[in-house]
Structure 1
């Protein structure tokens, strides 16, 4: 039997690697990948064989001039249950090393406790009290923040007992032609969560189906992703304190993983108990199938403030209803280590019963984020656009008629842009209050949003203090008001463009949003050009009619004809821009 030791250099925590890296042993330093060159350090063992409770000396050796700052090392089986960490570290240089108690087992992993340069190390490891099979030591070694070697292994440590228990971890399968069907089963024999809202199954960007049988919940998942797809079970709609089940695929390296989200990150847990595991990557999608017991051994973390450290357990019973999360993303090169998902995860709108055959939907955006986007789209695609053309091109005709002491065009303009200002203000306040900070992904969009809010306030104040029609400053005010309005409208177009380019959104949403944006800009410019041409022709026609005839009836008929044409153009514009606004809302609400 064979036992391997793994040495892994992990996140460059000056006080040692966090306990959440017990299985991944992978530092996520600014997305740094592990080195592909030969590791300058080796793991040597004092013996080629072992018996229960035997102590083995482990040597970490390198050239005299080469040192490292951080590392992790553990032992596990070569075959069978290769996840469970074996044995304990009993002696080591404790001035700059310390043990971790992974999954409640004391001192079963070793890591650094400071950032001091380290050279050759001599460690003592004690084998389990019972035969567990051949083992190997695995390590990660980190020399700088961005330079590390992972999956470095010792020679096999052979179990000579001949009576070893290899554990119950089920083998993964890589099925080249998945027969996962969402169209024919969702809502009929299985419950499903489908994304986006308008998809029906095979055309979805991400989906998970589930049904219960023989004390197991059977899952099938798929997502358009380059590395993994993951489902989470949560008591609320916020990430943190959730169990996850994830499928990873990178070439022929496939896994199903169980994990726990303590906060905005994932700690990998033991998968023992999950069965019927199949994962495949095909045509840019990841497909997988597995079954999880309805009640499974609890997730284990460790309280290091107690002496000795004590385990903390949490149980996720799938007979209860949970909010489901769906997330997808990348894995680091040549590993099954999941990176932080860039795109926002799907969250179901309601709690999900995993024993039902209901088709559930959800959104990647919370209600307040959807409200922020919808208010902006309605305000600037519809209300400001309409308010602008009314003020510019419809001061004559029906717009020139008086109502309550003011011309109708002015009343329409004031109410439209006033409502737009209210929508903009609410949208601005929502995003700042709810987001609670500045996001690295939306910097340009956010800067434009602040500028637009400031311009909106200036426009509103200008409307309150505008000079009288007889004032010498009135022409100056009109020019400034119109110019600032146009510039703000253009800035909002840029803001909406950058909003739909935020990498937090899936590619399909960004493409749909860009198409809507492009159609809106072209349509707005087209109709403003049409209205400008009509206005100028109308003025020329009115002047010509006045020169050739003093007949009032002829002038009235000409004006009526001009107004009818203008009204038809306005109606077509309203229908056109309303349709585009609805499309903009769909780009937000369907995802």
Structure 2
């Protein structure tokens, strides 16, 4: 029997915070970024891994891990609280708000898994419904994840300044990296043009002399390939930097979660 003055054990709560931080600061945003900005990524001339597009494999893996971690985190906090709901009077308004938003995130995550498992064929006339529902549900969960973490860490009685600083840096980083990606994705174009040699190589490979219009189209395609190679490298660098920053901030936050005195 534990003595009455023994401090409560928050191991499961700390484990809950750990897996949720990894899910929504590392895996979820990485998976979203691959789907949004990585659809034309390639390694050399290879665009597929194990029969699927590179971006899709990374997207599916990262979001699957995020969904599993979210479900695990939900079960961990149920163990900690002995399956009782947070009382707004005894638990505090911040923890109560965290519980509501957390349940919404779990529901969004499980809905994503269900939709992905039973999605219609890409050529189906109803595919656009799945695409928009998939986007809306995923973005809603990700947007909600940041205030959910903010709320609970703001209510913790320890390491308050550290939590706020790390989460503020994280929020700023996500905004910055998304702005850079959007500029690169829509507005950045290299100024260089393909040389005549590059065009002749392409024309010889096609085996068709073509009309003037076809020759111009060949030049445009070649130019787009050069653009894609340049942008491809930049996107790989940005995604790598994002993963490194996410891991560093997630580890810092996890250390604070477990250092409760």
TM-score normalized by the length of structure 2? 0.79
Aligned to 1:524: 174
User: How far does residue 421 in structure 1 lie from its aligned partner after superposition?
Assistant: 0.7
Instruction: Give the Cα separation in 2 of the matches to 1:521 and 1:474.
Output: 33
Superposed counterparts of 1:160-309, under 5 Å: 236=2, 241-242=3-4, 261=5
In the TM superposition, residue 558 of structure 1 has moved relative to its aligned partner by 3.1
Q: CA deviation at 1:450?
A: 1.0
Distance between the aligned counterparts of 1:470 and 1:577, measured in 2?
36
Task: Report what 1:579 is aligned to.
Answer: 248
1:357-416 CA-to-partner distances (Å, cap 9, x unmatched) read xxxxxxxx6221110000000000000010010110000022881223211211111111
What is the aligned-residue RMSD (CA, Å)?
2.6
Note the C-alpha offset of 1:483.
Answer: 1.3
CA distance in 1, matches of 2:151, 2:37: 30
Instruction: Quote the residue 2:209 is aligned against.
Output: none
> SS at the partner of 2:154?
coil
Aligned to 1:430: 76
In structure 1, distance between residues paired with 2:182 and 2:99: 33
Provide the secondary structure at the position in 2 that maps to 1:471. Answer: coil
Query: What residue in structure 2 maps to residue 389 of structure 1?
Result: 33
Among 407, 426, 431, which residue is 2:53 paired with? 407
Alignment of 1:451-490 (within 5 A): 451-490=104-143
Displacement of 1:511 after TM fit? 2.1
Q: Which residue of 2 aligns with 1:334?
A: none
| CA distance in structure 1 between the partners assigned to 2:250 and 2:148 by the alignment | 15
Distance 1:487 1:551, change over 3 A: closer
Q: What is the distance in 1 between the residues matched to 2:250 and 2:76?
A: 21
1:370 to 3, 11, 14: 14
Residues 569 and 547 of structure 1: CA distance in aligned 2, closer, same or farther (over 3 Å):
farther
Kindly indicate whether residue 144 of structure 2 is the aligned counterpart of residue 491 of structure 1: yes
CA distances 1:25-68 after superposition (whole Å, capped 9, x unpaired): xxxxxxxxxxxxxxxxxxxxxxxxxxxxxxxxxxxxxxxxxxxx
Q: How far apart are residue 434 of structure 1 and its match?
A: 2.5
* Relative contact order, higher structure (CA 8 A, sep 6+): 2
Q: What is the alpha-carbon distance in structure 2 between the residues aligned to residue 409 and residue 484 of structure 1?
A: 19
Larger radius of gyration: 1
1:484, CA displacement in angstroms?
1.1
Residue in structure 2 matching 1:557, options 226, 238, 243: 226
How far does residue 490 in structure 1 lie from its aligned partner after superposition?
Answer: 1.3
Structure 2 gaps, min length 5: 195-214
C-alpha displacement of 1:536:
0.7
Answer yes or no: is 1:380 the counterpart of 2:24: yes
Distance apart, 1:495 and its partner CA? 1.0
Does 2:183 align with 1:514?
Answer: no
Distance apart, 1:457 and its partner CA: 0.9
1:513-557 CA distance string (max 9 Å, x none): 12211111111111111111101135x669x97968617665543
Instruction: Return the alpha-carbon distance in structure 1 between the equivalents of residues 118 and 218 of structure 2.
Output: 42
Cα gap change, 1:547/1:454 in structure 2, threshold over 3 Å: closer, same or farther?
Answer: farther
Q: Measure the CA separation in 2 of the matches of 1:532 and 1:470.
A: 28
Cα distance in 2, alignment partners of residues 409 and 500 from structure 1: 33
Aligned partners of 1:389 and 1:497: how far apart in 2?
22
Q: Distance in 2 between matches of 1:547 and 1:446?
A: 59
Asked whether 1:445 is paired with 2:109, we answer no
Distance 1:581 1:370 in 2: 13
Aligned to 1:117: none
1:512 to 1:474, Cα distance in 2 relative to 1, 3 A: same
State the aligned residue count.
Answer: 230
Deviations 1:157-187 (A, max 9, x none): xxxxxxxxxxxxxxxxxxxxxxxxxxxxxxx
